[in-house]
Amino acid sequence: MDALLTDLLDVLRRTGLDAVLILAGAAGLGGLGYAVVHRSLRALMGDLEWAAPLRGALLRRTRAPLRILAPVLCVYLALPTVRASLPGVARTVLGNALQALVVVGGAWMLVAVLYAVEEAVSVRYETDTPDNLQGRKIVTQTRILRRIAATVITIVAAGLVLMQYEPFRELGTGILASAGIAGIVVGVAAQRTLGDLIAGIQIALTQPIRVDDAVIVEGEFGWVEEITLTYVVVQVWDRRRIVLPITHFLEQPFQNWTRTSTDLIGTVFLYLDYTVPIDDLRAELRRIVEASEHWDHDVAGLQMTDASERTVTLRATASAKDAPTLWTLRCEIREKLVAYIREHYPDALPTLRTRLETSEDGERLDNDGDAQGPM
Protein backbone atom coordinates (compact mmCIF):
# COMPACT_ATOMS: atom_id res chain seq x y z
CA MET A 1 0.00 0.00 0.00
CA ASP A 2 2.80 2.37 0.88
CA ALA A 3 4.58 1.53 -2.38
CA LEU A 4 1.45 2.22 -4.40
CA LEU A 5 1.02 5.56 -2.69
CA THR A 6 4.67 6.39 -3.32
CA ASP A 7 4.35 5.51 -7.01
CA LEU A 8 1.21 7.62 -7.30
CA LEU A 9 2.94 10.59 -5.76
CA ASP A 10 5.88 10.15 -8.14
CA VAL A 11 3.52 10.13 -11.11
CA LEU A 12 1.76 13.23 -9.89
CA ARG A 13 5.08 14.96 -9.28
CA ARG A 14 6.41 14.13 -12.75
CA THR A 15 3.25 15.27 -14.51
CA GLY A 16 2.79 18.38 -12.37
CA LEU A 17 -0.66 17.25 -11.26
CA ASP A 18 0.36 17.52 -7.63
CA ALA A 19 0.84 21.27 -8.06
CA VAL A 20 -2.55 21.57 -9.72
CA LEU A 21 -4.24 19.63 -6.93
CA ILE A 22 -2.52 21.64 -4.21
CA LEU A 23 -3.42 24.97 -5.84
CA ALA A 24 -7.00 23.84 -6.45
CA GLY A 25 -7.25 22.72 -2.84
CA ALA A 26 -5.92 26.11 -1.68
CA ALA A 27 -8.51 27.90 -3.81
CA GLY A 28 -11.29 25.73 -2.46
CA LEU A 29 -10.07 26.23 1.09
CA GLY A 30 -10.03 29.98 0.59
CA GLY A 31 -13.55 30.01 -0.84
CA LEU A 32 -14.84 27.79 1.95
CA GLY A 33 -13.16 29.91 4.60
CA TYR A 34 -14.67 33.08 3.15
CA ALA A 35 -18.15 31.52 3.05
CA VAL A 36 -17.92 30.35 6.67
CA VAL A 37 -16.64 33.68 7.96
CA HIS A 38 -19.19 35.68 5.96
CA ARG A 39 -22.14 33.58 7.09
CA SER A 40 -20.95 33.73 10.69
CA LEU A 41 -20.71 37.50 10.60
CA ARG A 42 -24.18 37.78 9.06
CA ALA A 43 -25.59 35.52 11.76
CA LEU A 44 -23.85 37.46 14.54
CA MET A 45 -25.05 40.81 13.26
CA GLY A 46 -28.69 39.83 12.89
CA ASP A 47 -30.82 42.92 13.35
CA LEU A 48 -27.84 45.15 14.14
CA GLU A 49 -27.47 46.09 10.48
CA TRP A 50 -29.84 49.01 10.75
CA ALA A 51 -28.41 50.16 14.08
CA ALA A 52 -24.86 50.02 12.67
CA PRO A 53 -25.23 50.85 8.95
CA LEU A 54 -21.48 50.76 8.30
CA ARG A 55 -21.21 47.09 9.31
CA GLY A 56 -24.08 46.05 7.08
CA ALA A 57 -22.77 48.14 4.19
CA LEU A 58 -19.29 46.61 4.55
CA LEU A 59 -20.71 43.07 4.47
CA ARG A 60 -22.79 43.78 1.36
CA ARG A 61 -20.21 45.78 -0.55
CA THR A 62 -17.19 43.55 0.17
CA ARG A 63 -18.99 40.29 -0.58
CA ALA A 64 -18.11 40.19 -4.29
CA PRO A 65 -14.42 41.25 -4.05
CA LEU A 66 -13.74 38.94 -1.10
CA ARG A 67 -15.34 36.04 -2.94
CA ILE A 68 -12.58 36.42 -5.53
CA LEU A 69 -9.79 37.73 -3.35
CA ALA A 70 -9.88 35.01 -0.67
CA PRO A 71 -9.25 32.03 -3.03
CA VAL A 72 -6.65 34.01 -5.00
CA LEU A 73 -4.74 34.90 -1.84
CA CYS A 74 -4.73 31.27 -0.71
CA VAL A 75 -3.44 30.14 -4.11
CA TYR A 76 -0.81 32.89 -4.06
CA LEU A 77 0.39 31.78 -0.60
CA ALA A 78 0.45 28.13 -1.66
CA LEU A 79 2.42 28.81 -4.85
CA PRO A 80 5.93 28.69 -3.26
CA THR A 81 5.30 25.13 -2.05
CA VAL A 82 4.72 23.83 -5.59
CA ARG A 83 7.01 26.18 -7.51
CA ALA A 84 9.60 23.43 -8.09
CA SER A 85 6.97 21.18 -9.71
CA LEU A 86 5.96 23.75 -12.31
CA PRO A 87 7.74 24.39 -15.62
CA GLY A 88 9.52 27.72 -15.91
CA VAL A 89 7.02 29.32 -18.28
CA ALA A 90 4.01 28.13 -16.27
CA ARG A 91 5.64 29.35 -13.08
CA THR A 92 6.19 32.84 -14.51
CA VAL A 93 2.76 33.15 -16.10
CA LEU A 94 0.95 31.86 -13.03
CA GLY A 95 2.95 34.08 -10.69
CA ASN A 96 2.29 37.21 -12.73
CA ALA A 97 -1.40 36.36 -13.12
CA LEU A 98 -1.82 35.78 -9.39
CA GLN A 99 -0.04 39.03 -8.57
CA ALA A 100 -2.29 40.91 -10.98
CA LEU A 101 -5.38 39.29 -9.50
CA VAL A 102 -4.25 40.17 -5.98
CA VAL A 103 -3.74 43.80 -7.01
CA VAL A 104 -7.08 43.99 -8.81
CA GLY A 105 -8.88 42.26 -5.94
CA GLY A 106 -7.25 44.54 -3.38
CA ALA A 107 -8.19 47.64 -5.38
CA TRP A 108 -11.72 46.33 -5.78
CA MET A 109 -11.84 45.71 -2.04
CA LEU A 110 -10.71 49.26 -1.21
CA VAL A 111 -13.24 50.78 -3.61
CA ALA A 112 -15.95 48.60 -2.06
CA VAL A 113 -15.00 49.90 1.39
CA LEU A 114 -15.27 53.47 0.08
CA TYR A 115 -18.75 52.75 -1.28
CA ALA A 116 -19.72 51.20 2.06
CA VAL A 117 -18.60 54.32 3.92
CA GLU A 118 -20.55 56.51 1.52
CA GLU A 119 -23.65 54.36 1.93
CA ALA A 120 -23.38 54.46 5.72
CA VAL A 121 -22.97 58.23 5.69
CA SER A 122 -26.04 58.58 3.44
CA VAL A 123 -28.07 56.49 5.89
CA ARG A 124 -26.74 58.39 8.90
CA TYR A 125 -27.27 61.86 7.42
CA GLU A 126 -30.58 61.92 5.55
CA THR A 127 -31.08 64.67 2.95
CA ASP A 128 -34.86 64.36 2.57
CA THR A 129 -35.68 66.13 5.84
CA PRO A 130 -36.61 69.84 6.10
CA ASP A 131 -33.58 70.88 8.18
CA ASN A 132 -30.88 68.96 6.31
CA LEU A 133 -28.07 71.49 5.87
CA GLN A 134 -25.50 69.53 7.89
CA GLY A 135 -26.50 66.25 6.25
CA ARG A 136 -26.22 67.65 2.73
CA LYS A 137 -22.82 69.10 3.55
CA ILE A 138 -21.40 65.80 4.82
CA VAL A 139 -23.00 63.70 2.05
CA THR A 140 -21.59 66.00 -0.63
CA GLN A 141 -18.06 65.88 0.80
CA THR A 142 -18.20 62.10 1.21
CA ARG A 143 -19.49 61.50 -2.30
CA ILE A 144 -16.89 63.68 -4.03
CA LEU A 145 -13.97 62.41 -1.93
CA ARG A 146 -15.06 58.80 -2.57
CA ARG A 147 -14.93 59.39 -6.31
CA ILE A 148 -11.50 61.02 -6.06
CA ALA A 149 -10.10 58.21 -3.88
CA ALA A 150 -11.58 55.54 -6.18
CA THR A 151 -9.94 57.21 -9.19
CA VAL A 152 -6.54 57.27 -7.48
CA ILE A 153 -6.86 53.62 -6.41
CA THR A 154 -7.77 52.61 -9.96
CA ILE A 155 -4.77 54.45 -11.41
CA VAL A 156 -2.37 52.87 -8.92
CA ALA A 157 -3.82 49.39 -9.47
CA ALA A 158 -3.57 49.77 -13.25
CA GLY A 159 0.08 50.79 -12.95
CA LEU A 160 0.93 47.84 -10.69
CA VAL A 161 -0.81 45.37 -13.00
CA LEU A 162 0.96 46.70 -16.09
CA MET A 163 4.32 46.37 -14.36
CA GLN A 164 3.81 42.58 -14.10
CA TYR A 165 4.18 42.15 -17.86
CA GLU A 166 7.30 42.98 -19.78
CA PRO A 167 5.68 44.64 -22.83
CA PHE A 168 3.75 47.01 -20.57
CA ARG A 169 6.31 47.41 -17.81
CA GLU A 170 7.58 50.71 -19.11
CA LEU A 171 4.06 52.11 -19.28
CA GLY A 172 3.27 50.91 -15.77
CA THR A 173 6.52 52.32 -14.45
CA GLY A 174 5.74 55.63 -16.11
CA ILE A 175 2.34 55.76 -14.44
CA LEU A 176 3.67 55.08 -10.95
CA ALA A 177 7.10 56.65 -11.15
CA SER A 178 7.85 59.69 -13.33
CA ALA A 179 7.05 62.41 -10.85
CA GLY A 180 4.92 60.25 -8.54
CA ILE A 181 1.18 60.14 -8.13
CA ALA A 182 1.04 63.81 -7.17
CA GLY A 183 3.02 64.68 -10.29
CA ILE A 184 0.53 62.74 -12.40
CA VAL A 185 -2.46 64.54 -10.94
CA VAL A 186 -0.84 67.97 -11.19
CA GLY A 187 0.61 67.30 -14.64
CA VAL A 188 -2.60 66.09 -16.18
CA ALA A 189 -4.67 68.74 -14.38
CA ALA A 190 -3.84 71.04 -17.30
CA GLN A 191 -5.99 68.76 -19.40
CA ARG A 192 -9.71 69.38 -19.45
CA THR A 193 -10.82 66.16 -17.77
CA LEU A 194 -8.55 66.22 -14.74
CA GLY A 195 -8.94 69.98 -14.60
CA ASP A 196 -12.52 69.17 -13.72
CA LEU A 197 -11.17 66.75 -11.09
CA ILE A 198 -9.32 69.61 -9.42
CA ALA A 199 -12.51 71.65 -9.62
CA GLY A 200 -14.35 68.75 -7.97
CA ILE A 201 -11.87 68.79 -5.09
CA GLN A 202 -12.38 72.53 -4.72
CA ILE A 203 -16.16 72.07 -4.74
CA ALA A 204 -15.84 69.42 -2.01
CA LEU A 205 -13.73 71.70 0.17
CA THR A 206 -15.39 75.09 -0.36
CA GLN A 207 -18.90 73.75 -1.03
CA PRO A 208 -20.56 76.53 -3.03
CA ILE A 209 -23.14 73.83 -3.80
CA ARG A 210 -24.26 70.70 -2.03
CA VAL A 211 -26.51 67.80 -2.87
CA ASP A 212 -30.18 68.89 -2.72
CA ASP A 213 -29.35 72.60 -2.79
CA ALA A 214 -32.01 74.79 -4.43
CA VAL A 215 -30.26 76.73 -7.21
CA ILE A 216 -31.00 78.87 -10.25
CA VAL A 217 -28.68 78.11 -13.18
CA GLU A 218 -29.10 78.96 -16.84
CA GLY A 219 -32.29 80.78 -15.91
CA GLU A 220 -33.88 77.59 -14.49
CA PHE A 221 -34.85 76.79 -10.91
CA GLY A 222 -34.03 73.31 -9.63
CA TRP A 223 -32.27 71.14 -7.08
CA VAL A 224 -28.75 69.70 -7.18
CA GLU A 225 -29.39 66.01 -7.76
CA GLU A 226 -25.87 64.67 -8.29
CA ILE A 227 -22.31 65.97 -8.07
CA THR A 228 -19.62 63.98 -9.88
CA LEU A 229 -15.97 64.68 -10.54
CA THR A 230 -16.69 66.29 -13.89
CA TYR A 231 -20.32 67.44 -13.98
CA VAL A 232 -23.31 68.41 -11.86
CA VAL A 233 -26.90 67.30 -12.50
CA VAL A 234 -29.62 69.81 -11.60
CA GLN A 235 -33.21 68.54 -11.51
CA VAL A 236 -35.58 71.27 -12.70
CA TRP A 237 -39.01 71.71 -11.13
CA ASP A 238 -40.69 70.02 -14.14
CA ARG A 239 -38.40 66.96 -13.74
CA ARG A 240 -36.04 67.88 -16.56
CA ARG A 241 -32.32 67.54 -15.85
CA ILE A 242 -29.68 70.14 -16.63
CA VAL A 243 -26.16 68.68 -16.86
CA LEU A 244 -23.45 71.28 -16.31
CA PRO A 245 -19.65 70.94 -16.16
CA ILE A 246 -18.48 71.23 -12.59
CA THR A 247 -16.29 74.18 -13.53
CA HIS A 248 -19.49 76.14 -14.28
CA PHE A 249 -20.08 76.57 -10.55
CA LEU A 250 -16.58 78.00 -10.09
CA GLU A 251 -16.46 80.23 -13.15
CA GLN A 252 -20.07 81.42 -13.64
CA PRO A 253 -22.40 83.19 -11.20
CA PHE A 254 -25.44 81.29 -10.00
CA GLN A 255 -28.04 81.56 -7.26
CA ASN A 256 -27.98 79.17 -4.30
CA TRP A 257 -31.16 79.52 -2.27
CA THR A 258 -30.07 77.10 0.47
CA ARG A 259 -26.42 78.05 0.94
CA THR A 260 -26.66 78.65 4.69
CA SER A 261 -30.26 77.63 5.49
CA THR A 262 -33.33 76.26 3.75
CA ASP A 263 -35.79 78.95 4.85
CA LEU A 264 -36.52 81.62 2.24
CA ILE A 265 -38.43 84.87 1.80
CA GLY A 266 -40.63 85.20 -1.27
CA THR A 267 -42.41 88.15 -2.87
CA VAL A 268 -45.75 88.71 -4.60
CA PHE A 269 -46.22 91.87 -6.68
CA LEU A 270 -49.61 93.51 -7.23
CA TYR A 271 -50.29 96.42 -9.61
CA LEU A 272 -53.34 98.33 -8.39
CA ASP A 273 -55.11 101.64 -8.64
CA TYR A 274 -54.18 104.61 -6.46
CA THR A 275 -57.43 104.22 -4.53
CA VAL A 276 -56.46 100.85 -3.04
CA PRO A 277 -56.64 100.79 0.80
CA ILE A 278 -53.17 99.55 1.70
CA ASP A 279 -53.85 99.11 5.42
CA ASP A 280 -56.79 96.80 4.71
CA LEU A 281 -54.68 94.75 2.31
CA ARG A 282 -51.89 94.56 4.88
CA ALA A 283 -54.33 93.21 7.46
CA GLU A 284 -55.74 90.74 4.93
CA LEU A 285 -52.24 89.51 4.12
CA ARG A 286 -51.65 88.86 7.82
CA ARG A 287 -54.88 86.85 8.02
CA ILE A 288 -53.94 84.84 4.92
CA VAL A 289 -50.48 83.82 6.14
CA GLU A 290 -51.63 83.05 9.66
CA ALA A 291 -54.27 80.70 8.28
CA SER A 292 -51.81 79.03 5.90
CA GLU A 293 -49.97 75.83 6.81
CA HIS A 294 -47.08 76.86 4.57
CA TRP A 295 -46.01 79.98 6.49
CA ASP A 296 -43.19 79.57 9.01
CA HIS A 297 -44.42 82.42 11.27
CA ASP A 298 -41.35 84.54 10.59
CA VAL A 299 -41.72 87.22 7.88
CA ALA A 300 -44.91 88.75 6.49
CA GLY A 301 -45.39 92.30 5.22
CA LEU A 302 -46.81 94.58 2.54
CA GLN A 303 -45.13 97.70 1.15
CA MET A 304 -45.70 100.11 -1.72
CA THR A 305 -42.51 99.83 -3.72
CA ASP A 306 -43.32 101.90 -6.81
CA ALA A 307 -45.85 104.31 -8.30
CA SER A 308 -46.36 104.95 -12.01
CA GLU A 309 -48.67 107.33 -13.88
CA ARG A 310 -51.49 104.73 -13.75
CA THR A 311 -50.89 102.24 -10.90
CA VAL A 312 -49.02 101.67 -7.69
CA THR A 313 -46.88 98.59 -7.07
CA LEU A 314 -47.44 96.65 -3.86
CA ARG A 315 -44.98 94.00 -2.74
CA ALA A 316 -46.15 91.31 -0.35
CA THR A 317 -43.38 89.34 1.39
CA ALA A 318 -43.63 86.08 3.32
CA SER A 319 -41.25 83.36 4.45
CA ALA A 320 -41.38 79.57 4.37
CA LYS A 321 -39.22 76.66 5.48
CA ASP A 322 -37.94 75.73 1.98
CA ALA A 323 -38.25 76.57 -1.71
CA PRO A 324 -41.17 74.23 -2.66
CA THR A 325 -43.21 75.39 0.33
CA LEU A 326 -42.42 79.02 -0.48
CA TRP A 327 -43.65 78.58 -4.04
CA THR A 328 -46.98 77.21 -2.80
CA LEU A 329 -47.30 80.01 -0.24
CA ARG A 330 -46.67 82.69 -2.86
CA CYS A 331 -49.34 81.24 -5.14
CA GLU A 332 -51.76 81.08 -2.22
CA ILE A 333 -51.13 84.71 -1.24
CA ARG A 334 -51.49 85.91 -4.82
CA GLU A 335 -54.77 84.07 -5.39
CA LYS A 336 -56.39 85.16 -2.12
CA LEU A 337 -55.30 88.79 -2.30
CA VAL A 338 -56.64 89.14 -5.83
CA ALA A 339 -59.91 87.49 -4.80
CA TYR A 340 -60.15 89.83 -1.79
CA ILE A 341 -59.57 92.93 -3.91
CA ARG A 342 -62.02 91.80 -6.57
CA GLU A 343 -64.71 91.18 -3.96
CA HIS A 344 -64.26 94.15 -1.61
CA TYR A 345 -62.48 96.81 -3.65
CA PRO A 346 -63.19 96.19 -7.36
CA ASP A 347 -62.52 99.87 -8.13
CA ALA A 348 -58.95 99.38 -6.91
CA LEU A 349 -58.14 97.13 -9.86
CA PRO A 350 -56.11 98.87 -12.59
CA THR A 351 -58.31 101.16 -14.68
CA LEU A 352 -57.78 103.58 -17.56
CA ARG A 353 -59.24 107.03 -16.74
CA THR A 354 -60.57 109.46 -19.34
CA ARG A 355 -61.66 112.98 -18.33
CA LEU A 356 -64.39 114.77 -20.32
CA GLU A 357 -64.76 118.55 -20.10
CA THR A 358 -67.43 120.87 -21.56
CA SER A 359 -66.60 124.22 -23.20
CA GLU A 360 -68.66 127.37 -22.70
CA ASP A 361 -70.65 126.80 -25.88
CA GLY A 362 -71.59 123.29 -24.84
CA GLU A 363 -69.05 121.44 -26.97
CA ARG A 364 -67.42 118.35 -25.47
CA LEU A 365 -63.60 118.42 -25.23
CA ASP A 366 -61.27 115.41 -25.05
CA ASN A 367 -58.17 115.18 -22.96
CA ASP A 368 -56.21 117.29 -25.48
CA GLY A 369 -58.78 120.12 -25.47
CA ASP A 370 -60.03 119.51 -29.04
CA ALA A 371 -63.73 120.11 -29.74
CA GLN A 372 -65.77 116.92 -30.11
CA GLY A 373 -69.17 118.42 -31.02
CA PRO A 374 -72.12 119.53 -28.87
CA MET A 375 -73.23 117.42 -25.96
- Residue 94 phi/psi, 5-degree rounding, is -65, -40
Contacts of 259 (CB under 8 A, 6+ apart): 208, 213
- What distance in Å separates the CA atoms of residue 192 and residue 170, rounded to the nearest whole number? 25
pLDDT tens per residue, range 263-293: 788 899 999 988 899 999 999 999 999 999 9
pLDDT band at 147 (very low <50, low <70, confident <90, very high): confident
User: Which residues, including other chains, have CB under 8 Å from residue 331's CB and lie 6 or more apart?
Assistant: none
pLDDT at residue 186 greater than cutoff 90: no
Nearest to 320 by CA among 330, 312, 305, 310: 330
- State pLDDT tens for residues 118-144: 888 887 776 666 666 677 778 877 888
Give this prediction's pTM: 0.50
- 211 in Cβ contact with 226 (< 8 Å): yes
Strand segments, DSSP code E, in the chain are 214-217, 220-227, 231-236, 241-245, 255-256, 264-272, 300-307, 312-320, 357-358, 363-365, 371-374
**Closest to 61 in 3D by CA, of 123, 152, 103:** 123
Residue 45 pLDDT grade (very low, low, confident, very high; cuts 50, 70, 90): low
Long-range CB contact pairs, 355-360, < 8 A, 24+: none
* Average pLDDT score over residue span 21-40: 75
Helices (H) and strands (E) in the chain, counts: 13, 11
In Å, how far from its chain's centre is CA 350? 47
Classify residue 31 by its DSSP letter: H
